[in-house]
Amino acid sequence: MQTKFIPINYDYFDYKGRNYAKIIGRNEKGKRICMIDSCPVYIWAILKENINQKQIEKITKKIEKIKLDLKGRQTKVEKVELHDKKFLSKKVKALKIYATNYKDLHDIASKLDFKEIEKRRGYDLGFTTHYIIEKKLKPLHWYTISGELLNNSEEFGGIDMNLDVDFCIKVEKIKTLEPDKIKYQPKILAYDIETDELQIGKGEILMISLVSDNFKKVITWKRNPTSDIRHLTSDFLEYVKDEAELIEKFIEYVKKVSPDFLVGYFSDGFDLPYLKARADIHKIKLSLGLDNTQPKFSRGVQLTGKINGITHIDLLKFIRTAYAQYMKSETLSLNEVAKEFLGDNKKEFKLKHSSKIKEHEWQKYYEYNLHDSILTYKLFEKFWPDLLEFTKTIEEPIFDTSRYGLSKYTESYILHNLEKFNEIPEKRPGHKEIGERKEIGSVKGAFVYEPTPGLYENIAMFDFTSMHTSIIISMNISKSTLLEKKEKGAYESPEIKEKNKKIKYYFSKEPGFFPNLLKEIFEKRKKFKTEYKKNPNPITLARSNAFKVLSASAHGYIAFFGARYYSHEASASILAFVRKFNQDIIEKTKKQGYKVIFGDTDSVAFTREKKSKKEVLKFLKKLNNELPGVMHLELEDFFKRGLWVTTRGGTAGAKKKYAMIDEEGKIKIRGFETVRRDWCKLSREIQSYVIKQILKDGNEKKALEYVKKIIKKLKQKEINKQDLIIKSQLKKPLSEYIATTPHVIAAKKMIEQKIPLSQGTLIEYYIAETKTKSKLVRDKVKLPEEKGEYELDYYLNRQILPAIENIFQVFGINIKETIEGKKQTTLGDF
């Protein structure tokens, strides 16, 4: 039979010693289909140089005889071919050694210890990745598949009989369909659980909400026994007898909706493992899989929950890697993320233990639970274009792309594109190699220019477009193009200090596959950005974003010790170029007669004095003409004013801290306390006001008046406590803290009061007046709900004044004296 098909969920199984890919997807009518397919399995043996034909024939014969009997599975070499390939951009002769089972390739590799063989590669990709590369059945692309329909067939041990799909097909032919011809509407089911404890399985699950297209449900067994059920019943609410029945009902609904995607928020680390743990306690099988199997959890750094045939998505992970760096939200909590992307307003509900929930609060709790699933559902819809485009770009199953970090994005893109360079993949570094890479230590980073504190007018700012990436492309830098010694015409890095020696690295003129691939990414990034500007919609934006992220992560990937194509030398060279190009631009700008104010990594800002914008742009053009390759400097913007301050208590200009106002009055604040979430709202707001007023007026007069007014309020204890809350994140488990900081104390108080808390929680507290004689801040910590007066001294001298004093210092004003008054007379003002 023949059908159209979009692959969504990839899995594989062994049958009679061979690997079979098992791919679940849909056809154009929305029917769920399972495809079963196989592909050649092989390992590359790269031969040493100068091995002659006779030697090759000799070892080929030996290799062909390799047979292994492992754990009851017999495996053997089926075929050996000689190929002309490339490895790390160098021409090599390599044997392609076919075997029966991908998992046995490691053992076959260990049998290939012939002296003629230099390296063994290409057996650590994982079967699914290998399969996608071999058969080009890429996730979320459309295909026409023809094959044999398996209908209650005995083949593959009757796999189709236990699988909840419409058809099961043994693939014979795969044909690519024109992209975007058929619209695929993903079937989504969002879920969220509420529990009494945050530790997995420790407390009971109180309720579960489920949201799909035209489907809303909250299942619960908890309510106050004295309350009248009629008042509590809603159209979405369904009562069950106990927690066991709750879990069974959940399974029932998942099966009934039968989604492509079961979507949660932090569900890898919480909801799914929690459900499994509670199901285990009740001896219930959490049979969510299409084959009725339970979710499988794998432990990387973080827990990951996989359901057979249904793609479990933890949206938090995807947002964290693909979006967090471009977001404004202070935390990645569902509420804040929803606020930023959906404009949804918070549903207020303070989580507490079920025993402390009052009668009338239950209905609110149910609604809160439902709302979380609604938000998760809407966020999935919102991010679907991004999930789609990232998956199509990286060519890994969406289950994986949605969980990958930046290095994996880059690496997957490379692995799926090696074939066009005829490259054999490099291996993953082992423990030993990672250790060695760490041992070498980090390389010197970018250059940051020390600004002179002050208020400046008429500022222009230039920055390099994708600086690191354009350096890699323009200077052909990579692990594979690094030369052992200087060659004629090679690219030469600036001088680098390594172990007290000054050295240079050289890179081949011969284009390497990595810089070449990056050039492709770089150009696609430009193309999709233009495409988006011409035709703005979620898909073009997502495509543009995918390539933006990919392009921006290239250098980080090379410098990451876990990367296949890691290179200390390449990373050091890239950064040496980064420093050099930035410093060169700064020098040239000074020479041109401009006053340089600041520069950080890839940017320079300067006052244009009396020169016109036109002259500045002419200068920019001149600078660009002197840049090599694809390197490009662009005008970030012209600014009306900008403010730079000293470091706290010092005289040096503070780096990475500035504020500018553009000609439309739009203000850009970097590094100041205003943008730091670990300062209280009051400090941030005062500072933000002061900065804005100064930038608008060009002087400090109004700002000073405002500050006096607020400080008066502060002294009269008229400030709302909410504005004095300090927030700080618990970055590791409480037990691992060496120093007992205020936020650690606050966290301990929360535990005492049974307020849910875990690693990653944003801890809130305020500093209160206490009887203690202790000078330690931590001894005055109180939780927001705790009764108490705020301590004036702390907020004045450690929050408000520090945030503004070096700003007023720019105008020669000592704000402490002005407020507290060395001259006591000024105190009378308050």
- Give the residues lining the site for DNA (CB under 7 A): 300-301, 321, 325, 330, 405-408, 434, 442-446, 448, 463, 553, 555-557, 559-562, 575, 600-603, 647-648, 650, 652, 654-657, 669-671, 675-678, 727-732, 736-743, 762, 776-779, 798, 802, 806
Distance separating alpha carbons of residues 795 and 803, to the nearest angstrom: 11
The 3-state secondary structure of 675-708, one letter per residue: HCCCCCHHHHHHHHHHHHHHHHHCCCHHHHHHHH
Pick 193 or 654: Cβ nearer DNA: 654
Cα–chain center distance at 524:
21
CB of residue 765 vs DNA: minimum separation in angstroms? 10
Residue 646 and residue 640: Cα distance in Å, rounded?
21
Distance CA 813, CA 815 (A): 6
- Whose Cβ is closer to DNA: residue 450's or residue 587's? 450
Provide the minimum distance between the beta carbon of 111 and DNA in the complex, in angstroms, as a whole number: 25
Whether the Cβ atoms of residue 173 and residue 147 lie closer than 8 Å to each other: yes
Q: Report residue 297: phi and psi, to 5°.
A: -110, 135
**Dihedral angle computed from the Cα positions of residues 563, 569, 571 and 574, in that order, rounded to the nearest 10 degrees:** -150
CB of 505 to DNA, least distance (A): 16
Residue 24 or 800 having the CB closest to DNA: 800
From residue 494, give the alpha-carbon distance in Å to each of 10, 297, 450, 626.
47, 48, 22, 17
Least Cβ distance, residue 671 to DNA (angstroms):
4
Per the CB < 8 A criterion, the answer to whether 125 and 411 are in contact is no
> Euclidean distance between the first and final Cα of the chain, in Å?
87
Q: Which is nearer to DNA, 73 or 320 (CB)?
A: 320
Pairwise CA distance, residues 66 & 559, whole Å: 39
Q: With respect to DNA, which residue has the nearer C-beta, 594 or 766?
A: 766
Minimum distance from CB of 517 to DNA (Å)?
17
**Nearest to DNA of 96, 677 (CB atom):** 677
Q: How far is the CB of 469 from DNA (least distance, A)?
A: 11
The strand pairing partners of 74, in sequence order, are 69
Tokens of 292: 């009725």
Q: At closest approach, how far in Å is the CB of 703 from DNA?
A: 18
Q: How far is the CB of 125 from DNA (least distance, A)?
A: 14
Nearest residue (CB) to DNA, 291 versus 636: 636
**Minimum distance of DNA from residue 761's CB (angstroms):** 10
Measured CA to CA, the distance from residue 635 to residue 628 in angstroms comes to 18
Q: CB-wise, 134 or 764, nearer to DNA?
A: 764
Cβ nearer to DNA, comparing 240 with 654: 654
The token duo for 687 is 């500072």
CB of 694 to DNA, least distance (A): 17
Pick 222 or 564: Cβ nearer DNA: 564
Q: Which residues sit opposite 483 in a β-bridge? A: 506
CA dist., res. 633 & res. 323, Å (int): 25
CB nearer to DNA: pick between 562 and 756: 562
Give the Cα separation of 784 and 677 in Å (integer).
16
Closest distance to DNA from the beta carbon of 803 (Å): 8
Closest separation in Å from C-beta 828 to DNA = 29
CA 406 to chain centre: 6
Smallest Cα–Cα separation from 547: which of 531, 530, 524? 524
Q: Min. distance of Cβ 652 from DNA in angstroms?
A: 6
Nearest to 263 by CA among 219, 300, 212, 338: 212
Amino acid found at 397: P
Angle subtended by helix axes 513-534 and 406-415, to nearest 10:
110
Cα 630 off chain centre by: 27
Q: Which is nearer to DNA, 124 or 160 (CB)?
A: 124
**HEC profile of 152-209:** CCCHHHHHHHHCCCCEEEEEEEEEECCCCCCCCCCCEEEEEEEECCCCCCCCCEEEEE
Structure tokens at 356: 């402390």
Looking at beta carbons only, is 121 or 743 nearer to DNA? 743
Of residues 35 and 694, the one with the C-beta less far from DNA: 694
Longest distance between any two alpha carbons in the chain, whole Å: 101
Work out how close the CB of 584 gets to DNA at its nearest, in angstroms, rounded to a whole number: 16
| Nearest to DNA of 3, 544 (CB atom) | 544
- Between 275 and 559, CB nearer to DNA: 559
Of 180 and 678, CB closest to DNA: 678
Contact yes or no for 100/78 (Cβ under 8 A): yes
In 3D space, the residue among 424, 552, 573 whose CA is nearest the CA of residue 496 turns out to be: 573
- Which two tokens mark 255? 């099966």
Cβ neighbours of 117 (radius 10 Å): 19
Place of tokens 């406590």: 721
The encoded tokens of residue 114 equal 């012939």
Instruction: Work out how close the CB of 40 gets to DNA at its nearest, in angstroms, rounded to a whole number.
Output: 27
Least distance between DNA and beta carbon 520 (Å): 19
Q: Please, what is the Cα angle at 589 between 587 and 592, to 5 degrees?
A: 110
Smallest separation, CB 261 to DNA (Å): 23
Mapped onto helix, strand or coil, the DSSP state of residue 562 is: coil
The structure tokens listed for 216 are 């809303």
Residue 201: both structure tokens together:
């399985």
Nearer to DNA, 254 or 517 (CB): 517
Burial class (CB in 10 A: 0-12, 13-18, 19+), 236: middle
In 568-698, where does DSSP find H-type helix? Answer: 568-591, 613-625, 681-697
User: 794, 725 in Cβ contact below 8 A?
Assistant: no
For the bound state, the minimum distance from the C-beta of residue 701 to DNA, rounded and expressed in Å, comes to 24
Give the HSE-up count for residue 73: Cα atoms under 13 Å, Cβ half-sphere: 16
